[in-house]
Structure 1
Amino acid sequence: MTFSDLKLQERYSLLVGFTKWFLLFSFGIRLLFFVLQFSEVTASLFSIIKTFSYGLFFDVGVLAFVWLFSSFYILLMPKKWIGKSFDKIVIYCFFNITLLILVFTFFAEITFWDEFKCRFNFIAVDYLIYTFEVVENINESYPLIVLIPAILFICFGISFYFFKKRYFNRTFVNQLAFKQRIVPFLVSIFMVLFYVFYVKNSDAEWSSNRYNNEISKAGIYSFFAELRNNKLDYLSFYSTIPNEEAFKIVRNKLKTNNSRFTSDKFSIQRQISDSLNSSQTPNIVFVLMESMSADFMQEFGNKMSITPFMDDLAQKGLLFKNLYATGTRTVRGMEAVTLSIPPTPGSSIVKRPENAGLYTISNVFKSKNYQCNFFYGGDGYFDNMNAFFGGNGFDIYDRGRGSILQEDIKAKRYNINDGEVTFENAWGVCDEDIYNKMIEIADHYDAKHKPFFNFIMTTSNHKPYTYPNKKVAIPSGTGRNGAVQYADFALKKLFEKSRTKPWFKNTIFVIVADHCASSAGKDEIDVANYHIPAIIYGDGIVPQKTNKLCSQIDVLPTLFEILHWNYTSDFYGKNVLANDFEERAFVGTYLKLGLMKNDKIMILSNQQKQNFYRWNKTTNNLIPISKSNEFLKETISFYQSADYLFVNRKKN
């Protein structure tokens, strides 16, 4: 070995030692999980070798990123600074911080496995959102007074071992030339690129035994893979029944007097027929209102008169008085109204990869020769909105600042220019500005005699609750009530301006909230905080109020049948006004999936748990009751079939 080779080895000695420690600890965690599940894993010699070999492969993937950052630092460090005070401070700090993070992660993996019997998945990602609940749960489940000191003690012990074995001293060797440091860095780059572009977390799922697959994974690698993937596998974590039975139940629930199923047993596609078979194609302006809870309206008991226009509109159109949002986020509301499906676990389909070319409401409008447009006052790159709408038949109008659509998306995208903006905050332009943009585009297509479906997502009713000054009585930035009042004011201005347009009389307006302003409550699903308003207004819409229990997914299917359209439906939503409509609503969180009928609600949870409640609407309490097997099977059927259809990409 030459002197130069010795210097190279010495400079990287701490990194090499750290690598050995990580592989040893990761092997120990994997062995612990294998022992804990020994009665359920496949324990043949070949399976054991494969389980731990796959584990080593994914551990190397984690280390590739550690090596990338470390070797990059070593590469950039001037030769004359090696071993000096700055070099020592950086290396000591980076080593101990990385060590602390990894030891904490190993402890977290053990507690996560104890609860879910798997490596980190989207549940762990979701925990980043519900920080308070997670901390409280950990505090009640584990003795933090012991756990935290134990983590610190282990970190101190490992660091002390590295110090005593002179790993640090050998690392601070001087006179290592730049050209000698380039090779480890280039190898690290190659390894990282290989894992990023060619290795999927699902590659660890080689066995028919789920426990072997999960033990094969690396927790940190799985966490970041799920962060990118945004899904939670239904079949692994929720109660199931045979697919044949699930689809039989769902098809029976979806059949109506005017529908005919057109596809196989693992499908809900059906042809909706109307004896009138109308050819009318009125323009449709669809407004998805940010955080507009039903209880903001006087119609639903609010005494503050902050939604006077919506309350007036409710008397002149079709008002859904007992309608519930499917979720607690904007993308979940978008999913509900465009795909007309119950919420699937994990993140909304809007945020998931490979969500283009699905059967959405745009397919129905396109079949009637409509132009479909999506309007958003912020950058539609946020929450993957542009990719979803652009990939499913909509042209995009947003406030994007350089973000682009994916190359395989054929939709057109147009920017809202500075000259069109009178007010904007972090979330985007104010509601008046986005409505003005919509009116401009409506004029354009009306001049071409092209019917349009314009989908608008508002933003003003969102923190920081700022909007143009002196528009409403409540000053900008003072709270939610002012934002609600401004959102109502802007909606009124939309109607006032639209009435001056030649296309107004041939236009139907649909107003729906994306979700409520708050979803938190003491129960696992706070039902009252899913109650939202929905109004359909326009010529030919008979003013009425329906008290039927229904869902966001029913709004547009109801409109289609009001228009007497014949159309193909791949939707779970139905015509609320039909005599054979069976009342029900779907409500969910990232982890909880609920079906509500009358005052009963069945909630499915991960870990294949189910809870059945009676909802006391007066006190807003969920009261546990004895489970109904029929109700449980129906709940499972809706959610399992919806997940099946997306996973298996039932596209048009």
Structure 2
Amino acid sequence: MLKEKQSRLLANRFGPLVVLAALLLGLSLLTRIALLVLAHANMDWSPLNLLRVFGVGLFFDLVALSYFMIPLVVYLWLMPDRWYRHRIQTWWLQLSFVGLVFLLLFTAAGEWVFWGEFGSRFNFIAVDYLLYTQEVVRNIQESYPVGAILSGLLLVALVLIWLCRPALRPSWQQASRWQARTGVAALLLLLPVLSYWLVDYKQKDLSSNTVVNQLSGNGIYEFFAANRNNELDYATFYASEPDEKVLRRLRTLLKTPESTFISEDPRQLARTVRYPGPEKRMNVVLISVESLSADFMASFGNTQGITPQLDALAKQSLMYTNLYASGTRTVRGLEALSLALPPTPGQSIVRRPDNENLFSLGYVFRSKGYDSQFLYGGYGYFDNMNHFFGSNSYRVVDRTALSDKDVHFENVWGVADEDLFTLALRQMDQSVAGGKPFFSHIMTTSNHRPFTYPAGRIDIPPDSKSREGGVKYTDWAIGDFIRRAQKKPWFDNTLFVITADHCASSAGKTDLPVDRYHIPLMVYAPKVIQPGVMPRLMAQVDLAPTLLGLLNFSYTSHFFGYDIATLEPGRERIFIATYQDIGYLKDGKLAILSPRKQVKTVLPNFSDGSAVGLPDDPALRDDAIAWYQGASYLFRNKTSRLPPLP
């Protein structure tokens, strides 16, 4: 009877799926057992936890199978009957199975290595490694006999498929009708759809033991779930303290002269910010320039002459000379400028799910009756910008608002900066005509590879495709924008804030080379702001509260930034990070928090990016944990979510 049922399962068009399911579930079980042996010392061996490891684990293996089988289901469905039973197809199917099994074996081997390194299934660190393929591949080649391992995995895959040939053969010996195949395929393809909407990677976390929760997952599913959720769980991978202790310490770090906590509850960090005197209801233009390192400007010692417009503006502006970006990607800069939060591990909040209704700079301006705008010269679906800004109190205006006749030049990233600024001026005019002041955050794109721009604007030809050309063209476009804005009736009542999203290069001598995070900031309003220099150390997250301080705005704040103009001397600090390493610098010392709960303290060189190791500094360590764990806690627990403004 059992053999008859097995025969019926295999002797139909979708019989190979049974073979694939047996291979995936079998290899997943063996992987789970191997990881259990590897992690035995930290495992809670209660019967209930063993049931979770293997019962919940089987469920997530089936979820992974629902995704993994999609290509094979589509192939089996669409292949015409007479072709499917052809000898060439039968060999092709077996060869495809070799590839699928090799991938499963490779994943299992990768999980073993990854667990040995991080004590975890695949997570965003594994996704992050794809961003640094060259470095990772070189490290693997230097650490393991890659050729021998891959050859061994291929040999095992060939042997397994050779043994599975009798189970595959019945499938191509049976006739199959299109209508019948379509019905079965529809049901099978419904499974990954249901998995996508009904299953969440956190559903496996049923135990207080981290090892149990990790073993209850499936490596393939965890990898793609990490890519989708774009974050690393702080408490799992980084040095941490009890949440209540962290939040109490964070309250002492957040308290500033102009602010008062609304509640005594340590989990509530909202403060009332008050400044004496009337508010200055000026228009604000915030330009975040793509990849504008401070050392591109003559104001910081550059001798190439590639920022003449910005250097001229710097002499007429309040220049902040000691500002440091949060990260190395545009989304990190946008996160810091809009939310004033430290860069929590993993991807920027801009790209994470469930990032709506956050307290933002746009929210403050909108609550004051401003038209809060985010303007981008490309298509804002890239990097999730449209959704993020549109869900957090900004009105999004992107490439779709421009007709072809409005565009002088465009490349893959968007229109030339001059066309973006033309669009911005149009939006500002509309706001003023509608009786509203405006806050316009403009994100430029031209200083980005391939560094192409309209001809005839600067003395570096576009076909040079050089970084210097990209910088100088963006500089020209900003100067042209300011000259056009000077002719507007609203110019004298407008603050122009010019900064960068991040530096042009993040590579340096250390994991967190401080010199690769130094960016410029200038505030230009010739009728209101006296030219000068602000040399105090300043984090990118400080820009929002500092800007609101210049306007004398009173508001309820959830920001983690300081108003640098009112902050007591000695409290300056900065946050710098990659996807994995998160740094906190204060009093010249940098604490670096890394996965596997590692913490180290270094003395960074601000000129060349080098660093010298220092003994552990407990106070610096505890402050770093408070800032980063606190920020992660607030986002995870939705503490600072706000109802949408009308």
Q: TM-score, normalised by structure 1?
A: 0.94
8 Å CA contact 1:8, 1:180 repeated in 2: no
By how many angstroms is 1:204 displaced?
Answer: 1.1
Sort the Cα spacing of 1:628 and 1:15 in 2 relative to 1 into closer, same or farther, 3 A: same
By how many angstroms is 1:646 displaced?
Answer: 0.9
By how many angstroms is 1:366 displaced?
Answer: 1.9
Q: Give the match for residue 443 of structure 1.
A: 429
Query: Which residue of 519, 528, 532 corresponds with 2:506?
Result: 519
8 Å CA contact 2:366, 2:372 repeated in 1: yes
Structure 1: unaligned runs, 5 residues or longer: 401-414
Q: What is the rounded CA distance, in whole Å, between the counterparts of 1:253 and 1:486 in structure 2? A: 41
Q: What is the rounded CA distance, in whole Å, between the counterparts of 1:46 and 1:572 in structure 2? A: 42
1:151 aligned partner, one-letter code: L
SS of 1:39's equivalent in the other structure is: helix
By how many angstroms is 1:8 displaced?
Answer: 6.3
By how many angstroms is 1:86 displaced?
Answer: 4.3
Query: Which residue of 472, 478, 487 corresponds with 2:458?
Result: 472
Sort the Cα spacing of 1:391 and 1:24 in 2 relative to 1 into closer, same or farther, 3 A: same
Q: Give the match for residue 630 of structure 1.
A: 619
Q: What is the rounded CA distance, in whole Å, between the counterparts of 2:298 and 2:136 in structure 1? A: 37
8 Å CA contact 2:326, 2:517 repeated in 1: yes
Sort the Cα spacing of 1:121 and 1:359 in 2 relative to 1 into closer, same or farther, 3 A: same
SS of 2:347's equivalent in the other structure is: coil
Q: What is the rounded CA distance, in whole Å, between the counterparts of 1:118 and 1:125 in structure 2? A: 13
Q: What is the rounded CA distance, in whole Å, between the counterparts of 1:191 and 1:472 in structure 2? A: 57
Q: What is the rounded CA distance, in whole Å, between the counterparts of 1:190 and 1:256 in structure 2? A: 54
By how many angstroms is 1:178 displaced?
Answer: 2.9
Query: Which residue of 557, 561, 571 corresponds with 2:549?
Result: 561
8 Å CA contact 2:546, 2:563 repeated in 1: yes
By how many angstroms is 1:570 displaced?
Answer: 1.1
Query: Which residue of 524, 530, 545 corresponds with 2:533?
Result: 545
8 Å CA contact 2:324, 2:574 repeated in 1: yes
8 Å CA contact 2:10, 2:170 repeated in 1: no
SS of 2:11's equivalent in the other structure is: helix
By how many angstroms is 1:257 displaced?
Answer: 2.2
Q: What is the rounded CA distance, in whole Å, between the counterparts of 1:325 and 1:6 in structure 2? A: 63
Q: What is the rounded CA distance, in whole Å, between the counterparts of 1:273 and 1:71 in structure 2? A: 62
Q: What is the rounded CA distance, in whole Å, between the counterparts of 1:604 and 1:50 in structure 2? A: 31
1:215 aligned partner, one-letter code: L
SS of 2:292's equivalent in the other structure is: coil
Say yes or no: does 1:509 pair with 2:496.
yes
8 Å CA contact 2:10, 2:167 repeated in 1: no
Say yes or no: does 1:257 pair with 2:246.
no
Q: Give the match for residue 641 of structure 2.
A: 651
Q: Give the match for residue 224 of structure 2.
A: 224
8 Å CA contact 2:514, 2:605 repeated in 1: no
Q: What is the CA deviation profile of residues 225-258 of structure 1, one whole-angstrom value per residue up to 9, with x for unaligned ones?
A: 1111111111111111222332232222222222
Query: Which residue of 99, 102, 123 corresponds with 1:100?
Result: 102
Please show how residues 15-34 of structure 1 align to structure 2 within 5 Å: 15-34=17-36
Say yes or no: does 1:418 pair with 2:418.
no
8 Å CA contact 1:71, 1:181 repeated in 2: no
Which shifted more, 536-545 or 327-336?
536-545
Task: Kindly tell me the number of residue pairs found equivalent between the two proteins.
Answer: 635
Say yes or no: does 1:536 pair with 2:549.
no
By how many angstroms is 1:200 displaced?
Answer: 1.1
Which shifted more, 346-355 or 573-582?
573-582
Which shifted more, 10-19 or 226-235?
10-19
By how many angstroms is 1:445 displaced?
Answer: 1.5
Structure 2: unaligned runs, 5 residues or longer: none
By how many angstroms is 1:169 displaced?
Answer: 3.2
Q: Give the match for residue 406 of structure 1.
A: none
1:546 aligned partner, one-letter code: M
Q: What is the CA deviation profile of residues 287-336 of structure 1, one whole-angstrom value per residue up to 9, with x for unaligned ones?
A: 01000000100011110010011111111111111100000011100110
8 Å CA contact 1:267, 1:645 repeated in 2: no
Q: What is the rounded CA distance, in whole Å, between the counterparts of 2:10 and 2:612 in structure 1? A: 68
8 Å CA contact 1:373, 1:396 repeated in 2: yes
Q: Percent identity?
A: 39
Sort the Cα spacing of 1:628 and 1:317 in 2 relative to 1 into closer, same or farther, 3 A: same
Say yes or no: does 1:112 pair with 2:114.
yes
Please show how residues 231-250 of structure 1 align to structure 2 within 5 Å: 231-250=231-250
Q: What is the CA deviation profile of residues 150-209 of structure 1, one whole-angstrom value per residue up to 9, with x for unaligned ones?
A: 22222222122224xx33433321423334434432331232222111111111111111
8 Å CA contact 2:381, 2:387 repeated in 1: yes
SS of 1:172's equivalent in the other structure is: helix
Q: What is the rounded CA distance, in whole Å, between the counterparts of 2:261 and 2:54 in structure 1? A: 48
Q: Give the match for residue 489 of structure 1.
A: 476
Q: Give the match for residue 301 of structure 2.
A: 301
Sort the Cα spacing of 1:449 and 1:12 in 2 relative to 1 into closer, same or farther, 3 A: closer
SS of 2:320's equivalent in the other structure is: strand
8 Å CA contact 2:257, 2:566 repeated in 1: no
Query: Which residue of 446, 462, 487 corresponds with 1:500?
Result: 487
Q: TM-score, normalised by structure 2?
A: 0.95
Say yes or no: does 1:209 pair with 2:209.
yes
8 Å CA contact 2:573, 2:587 repeated in 1: yes
8 Å CA contact 2:515, 2:608 repeated in 1: no
By how many angstroms is 1:63 displaced?
Answer: 1.9
Which shifted more, 459-468 or 99-108?
99-108
Query: Which residue of 68, 73, 89 corresponds with 2:75?
Result: 73
Q: What is the rounded CA distance, in whole Å, between the counterparts of 1:315 and 1:514 in structure 2? A: 22
Q: What is the rounded CA distance, in whole Å, between the counterparts of 1:169 and 1:378 in structure 2? A: 52
Q: What is the CA deviation profile of residues 35-84 of structure 1, one whole-angstrom value per residue up to 9, with x for unaligned ones?
A: 22223222222321232011111111222234433233222222222321
Q: What is the rounded CA distance, in whole Å, between the counterparts of 1:592 and 1:459 in structure 2? A: 27
SS of 1:128's equivalent in the other structure is: helix
Sort the Cα spacing of 1:7 and 1:634 in 2 relative to 1 into closer, same or farther, 3 A: closer
SS of 1:279's equivalent in the other structure is: coil
